[in-house]
Copies of this chain bind each other. A is one copy, B any other.
Amino acid sequence: MTATAASTRQQQKERTRSALLTAALELSQEQGFAQTSLRQVAKRAGVVPAAFYRHFESMDELGLALVERCFGTLREMIRDAQRDPEVFDHIIDAAAEILVAAVKENKADFGFVSRERVGGSEVVRAAIRHELELFETELAVVLVKLPNIENWSTADVQMVARLFVRNMVAGAEEVVEMPAGRPDLEQQIIEGARRQMRLIVLGFKDWRS
């Protein structure tokens, strides 16, 4: 064991597992998950390649764990946001700002999701798609409580949820790609996202299925 001292066996194992996940996330950010090798991950986590197998059967399995960890963070943030009464009152403005802030604070997670959603390995892609579908459904449940929408058909609400998720993913991509130290660009993205959502919401009151 090369470990930082003081630990039970379980703690130490968990620490190494976490180090592997973090290393993989970092490397994915730099060069994409599919281009990231088991040996690179092990090296950055500070263990020998063979030790990798004590935690994951393959890079695919690590990828799935990474998807879970990222969406866990994401879900948590959304739950927090929903509790805030401010958010419900000014749902659009809040959504735009929260989105940008959240993405900025978790660039690695969001970047991983948005990149691997289309580009990555088969199994990782499938997992991300599944999570995003879950998220669409959750959002539909929230949306259906909004005025102007409450008596739409299920299909229409799902469609609108998809439209929103789609644009959130796109917005997240923009923030992830945003070069550091450009607060003007950030404001521009927030403003763009807000306008787009407002435009979509404007259509609500005139919608006929």
Contact = CB atoms under 8 A, between A and B. Distances in A.
Interface stretch (A47-55, A64-72, A99-107, A111-119): A111-119
Q: List the number of copies, as a whole number.
A: 2
Interface in A159-209: 159-160, 162-163, 166-167, 170, 173, 192, 195-196, 198-204, 206-207
A199 B166 contact: no
Indicate the member of A119, A156, A166 with the most B CB atoms within 10 Å: A119
Interface string A73-103: 0000000000000000000000000000000
A139 to B, nearest CB: 15
B173 A167 contact: no
Contact of A166 (B32, B35, B162, B167): B167
Interface of A: 32, 34-35, 114-120, 156, 159-160, 162-163, 166-167, 170, 173, 192, 195-196, 198-204, 206-207
